[in-house]
Amino acid sequence: MSAFVRQAMVVARRDFTAVVATPTFLLFLLAPLFMILMSLLGVTGAAQIADTSQDKTRIGIIAAQADGPLLVAADRRLRNVLPDDLQPPKLDIIPQHGGQSAAVAQALLALPDPNYVAVLYGPLERPIILKEGGRRSAYLATLAEQVLRDRKGGVAPGAMLSIAQTADQKVQTASASSEHATGFAAVFGIFFLTLLLAGQSVGMLAEEKSNKVIEILAAAAPLEAVFLGKLIGMFGVALLFVGFWAGLAGTGIALSASFLTLPPIAAAVGLPAFLLLCALYFTMAFMLLGAIFLGVGAQASTMREIQMMSLPITIFQVAMFGLSSAAAGAPEGRLARFAEIFPFSSPFAMAARAANEPEIWPHILALGWQGLWVALTIWITAGLFRRGVLKSGPGLLSALRRKR
């Protein structure tokens, strides 16, 4: 092992241990759990409110006694066809008495509980639907139409003329839309993880600067090795985090496999290669963005400055996500090519490409290209740090001239 790599690994080990062996790391590790719990609480609360409101909401039909069973049967059939989120409110059949239907309908609509939002009355051939402003009345109209058709065809209430059988068949060829969806999921997954994990590197040199350890590090090892070590250390933390949650998610999926149907992962390069490429692109995204954050954060002198720098960094990350998402949606376009070549969006966009295109060689090329940019970013940011903090070294241009 070269001295450079060995020194980087010493720094990485120190940083990894310093982060992991603290009680606060447990909070960090479990942070998504809190997020999930809060989301579940929110969703449950919202669902309860919606259910309560749904329970009290009604639509009504004031109908002759003979039409009642036909309307109930037609309602049942139509509800079976509609998905859950398009289900209309519960239907009440109100028996018709005399010629006061219009007044009854108005009285029903005025009731606070149950809350009628629409009431149909009158002959089914020419019904009148009284409804709250903004509500749709198509369902009640369709019910009336259906009952008339059933009556005309002589279909008894609840009788089925056609009884269908269904059979599932696995489709071997993935559709383009499912590949696009997988590509977008990969972009989002890598973005989310880097947003959560790589952003941490912005304050990584703050400790060294405030504790004056930086001079010891600078005397013992090249700053580039120190920077690389810090990135590797944080990447180790990220892997631990991802491993923990991937393990939990895997266990959860395995336990719920019998009653949970997951959407299929459709990737043009094949699932094993896709997963491997996603892992590699996550590594590259972490290293690339982490190197930028580390370098930018290294210029800050105080925690306040670090906090100030976090916002533009996050905006930059979101911009890379937006670019790559657009590329995932239109993998053949020029924008996709640009996102794949631009070094800081390349890991995201190439992960999407792995879902959409079967060729492997562009990925080998892209990984090399991204690796080059990781090295370049570390070199530039370490140089900036050397001049900013240690007040040494030539300007960037003269350094470049010297390299030539």
Partner 1 sequence: MTDDRPVWAEGLIKTFGGTTAVHGVSLSVPRGMIYGVLGPNGAGKTTTLRMVLGIIDPDAGQRALLGHANPREVSHRVGYLPEERGLYPAMQAREAIAFMGALRGLDWATGRKRAGEMMEASGLGHAVDRKIRQMSKGMAQIVQLLGSIVHRPELIVLDEPFSGLDPVNQEHLESLVRSERDRGATILFSTHVMSHAERLCERIAVIAGGQRRFEGTVDDARGLLPMQAHYVPCDRAAEAGTMLPSGASFDGRAWRFTVPDGGAETLLMALISAGHGIAGLTMQRPGLHEAFVRIVSDAKQADVAASA
3-state secondary structure 308-358: HHHHHHHHHHHHHHHHHHHHHHCCCCHHHHHHHHCCCCHHHHHHHHHHHCC
# chain residues binding partner 1, by CB under 8 A: 29
CB 337 → partner 1: shortest distance, Å? 41
Closest of 307, 160, 300, 286 to residue 230, by C-alpha? 286
- Going through 172-259 in order, the beta strands assigned E by DSSP cover none
Interaction residues for partner 1, span 21-50 (CB under 8 A)? 22
Q: Name which position in 65, 165, 211, 258 contacts partner 1 (CB under 8 A).
A: 211
Nearer to partner 1, 126 or 391 (CB): 391
Cross-sheet strand order for the sheet of 115-121: 90-95, 57-63, 115-121, 128-131
- Residue 193: other Cβ atoms inside 10 A: 17
Contact range with partner 1 by CB under 8 A, out of 6-14, 196-204, 314-322, 328-336:
6-14
Collapsed DSSP state (helix, strand, coil) of residue 155: coil
Convert residues 320-359 into a mask of x (bound to partner 1 by CB under 8 A) and - (unbound).
----------------------------------------
Cβ(253)–Cβ(247) under 8 Å? no
Contact range with partner 1 by CB under 8 A, out of 85-93, 205-213, 300-308, 327-335:
205-213
Q: What are phi and psi of 71, to 5 degrees?
A: -65, -40
3-state secondary structure 94-125: EECCCCCHHHHHHHHHHCCCCEEEEEEECCCC
Nearer to partner 1, 10 or 174 (CB): 10
Quote the crossing angle between the two packed helices 138-153 and 67-81, to the nearest 10°: 120
Instruction: For residue 234, state whether it binds partner 1 (rule: CB under 8 A).
Output: no
Instruction: For residue 207, state whether it binds partner 1 (rule: CB under 8 A).
Output: yes
Cis preceding-peptide flag for 114 (omega within 30 of 0)? yes
Convert residues 160-199 into a mask of x (bound to partner 1 by CB under 8 A) and - (unbound).
----------------------------------------
CB 12 → partner 1: shortest distance, Å? 11
Q: Alpha carbon of 218 to those of 208, 222, 259, 277, 287: distances in Å?
A: 11, 6, 57, 35, 21
Interaction residues for partner 1, span 212-231 (CB under 8 A)? 212-222
Nearer to partner 1, 180 or 386 (CB): 386
Nearer to partner 1, 80 or 392 (CB): 392
Collapsed DSSP state (helix, strand, coil) of residue 299: coil
Contact range with partner 1 by CB under 8 A, out of 120-128, 340-348, 355-363, 385-393:
385-393
Instruction: For residue 390, state whether it binds partner 1 (rule: CB under 8 A).
Output: yes
Please give the Cα distance from 189 to 356 (Å, whole number).
Answer: 16
Nearer to partner 1, 231 or 328 (CB): 231
Nearer to partner 1, 21 or 81 (CB): 21
Nearer to partner 1, 3 or 396 (CB): 3
Contact range with partner 1 by CB under 8 A, out of 121-129, 155-163, 329-337, 390-398:
390-398
Which residue(s) pair with 120 in the sheet?
61, 129
Contacting positions for partner 1 (CB under 8 A): 3, 6-7, 10-11, 13-14, 18, 22, 207-208, 211-222, 386, 390-394
